[in-house]
A and B are shown apart, each in its own frame.
Chain A
Amino acid sequence: MEKKTAESQVIVVTSGKGGVGKTTTVANVSASLSKMGYKTVVIDLDIGLKKLDLILGLENRVIYDIVQVIEGECTLRQALVKDKRFPGLYLLPAAQTRNKDEITPEQVKKICEHLKSDFDFILIDCPAGIEQGFRNAVGAADKAIVVTNPEISAVRDADRIIGLLESAQFKEIKLIINRYQTNMVKKGDMLSIDDLLEHLCIDLLGVVPEDSNVIISTNKGEPIVLNGHSKAAISFNNIALRLTGKEVEFPSFEEESLWNKLKSLGRNIFPGK
Chain B
Amino acid sequence: MFDFLKRVLTNDSASSRRRANERLRLVLTHDRIGASSQLMETLKEEIIQVIARHFEIDGTPEVTLIREGRRSALDINIPLKGR
Contact = CB atoms under 8 A, between A and B. Distances in A.
Interface of A: 152, 155-156, 159-160, 162-163, 166, 185, 187-192, 195, 199-201
Contacts of B16: 188-189
Contacts of B21: 191, 195, 199
Contacts of A201: 69-70
Instruction: Please tell me the size bucket of the interface on B.
Output: 10 to 19
B24 interface: yes
A191 B17 contact: yes
Contacts of A199: 21, 24-25, 28
A144 to B, nearest CB: 14
A191 B70 contact: no
6 contacts: A152-B20, A152-B27, A156-B27, A187-B13, A188-B13, A195-B17
Dominant secondary structure at the A interface: helix
B17 A192 contact: yes
Interface in B1-53: 10, 13-18, 20-21, 23-25, 27-28, 31-32
Interface of B: 10, 13-18, 20-21, 23-25, 27-28, 31-32, 69-70
Contacts of B24: 152, 155-156, 191, 199
A159 B15 contact: no
**Residue with the greatest number of chain A CB neighbours at <10 A, chosen from B16, B27, B28:** B28
B69 A156 contact: no
Given A155-B24, A201-B70, A188 B32 contact: no
Contacts of B28: 155-156, 159, 199
A190 B31 contact: no
Nearest to A160: B31
A269 B17 CA distance: 40
B70 A188 contact: no
Contact of A156 (B13, B18, B31, B70): B31
